[in-house]
Amino acid sequence: MGGSPADVKKEVIVACQACNAETGWDVSLIDDLIQKGYDINLSLGHIGDVLRSFPFYSLAAGSDKLPLVEYLLNHGADPNANLRGETYSALELAIITNASLSIVSMLIDRGAAVKQRSAALFAARGGRLDVLKHLIASGAGVDSLPDNEDVYDNAREQDDWGTPLHGAAGNGKVDCVSWLLETGASRDVQNHNGLTPKQVAEKRGHTEC
């Protein structure tokens, strides 16, 4: 596919923004780009590759982006592409932006990394118990500390960065806290700041946890 990186990025943005619920998930422009040789896993700079950039940020709020995610995956999008050079994976962005459980499940089924990543932490932070259960069942460690090589340094400095229990307790997500403890999550694991989940909850004023 010819053109400067800026031109390619512009074409991809236009094509993906045209694929939404209002247009009946029209993928014709994306098809045209692929026919021209567009690498669907190409990083577009700070916005990441196409799978991470558009299903979760660029479409109408509240619409279910499953058709676009499925299309991209079926055409070679790698849910783990560019992880070393970017911040969060497609799975992690899906959880952060409240994508449906169906999207989360599809990404995991297509090989999205869950072990020693921050997906379960984000689900617990957001109180998304259904997603959290699915992640733990899919191999995310209930007591694992995220070891994302690509995550911003300041994320590690946040006091609720740590195990899923740190995230749930630090944000007052009682249902997630209860389920994690019932599942066997440890109360004693310290995060990167040397804090236990209880200490994080107390620091943030969540005495209910």
Task: Band the pLDDT of 59: cuts 50, 70, 90.
Answer: very low
Q: Which of 112, 34, 36, 98 has its CA nearest to residue 71?
A: 34
Task: Band the pLDDT of 68: cuts 50, 70, 90.
Answer: confident
Q: Give the whole-angstrom CA distance, residue 8 versus residue 186.
A: 48
Q: What pLDDT score was predicted for residue 3?
A: 62
Residue type, 144: S
Low-confidence winner among 103-112, 119-128, 157-166, 196-205 (lowest mean pLDDT): 157-166
Q: What pLDDT score was predicted for residue 178?
A: 97
Higher pLDDT, 16 or 110: 110
Mean pLDDT of 51-67: 65
DSSP per-residue string spanning 53-97: HHHHHSSPTT---HHHHHHHHHTT--TTTTTTTSSS-HHHHHHHT
To the nearest whole number, what is the mean pLDDT of the chain? 84
Q: Give the whole-angstrom CA distance, residue 185 versus residue 137.
A: 14
Mean pLDDT of 186-208: 92
Q: What is the pLDDT of residues 79-101, one digit of tens each?
A: 988 665 456 788 988 898 888 89
Task: Band the pLDDT of 148: cuts 50, 70, 90.
Answer: low
Mean pLDDT of 74-81: 90
Looking at the chain, how many residues does it have? 209
Task: Band the pLDDT of 57: cuts 50, 70, 90.
Answer: low
Higher pLDDT, 167 or 35: 167
- Provide the 10 A C-beta neighbour count for residue 91: 29
What H or E segment, with its residue span, contains residue 9?
helix 5-17
Q: What is the pLDDT of residues 23-41, one digit of tens each?
A: 888 888 888 888 888 888 8
Q: Give the whole-angstrom CA distance, residue 33 versus residue 77.
A: 14
For the chain, domains (ranges, CATH) are 1-113 (1.25.40.20), 114-209 (1.25.40.20)
Higher pLDDT, 117 or 4: 117
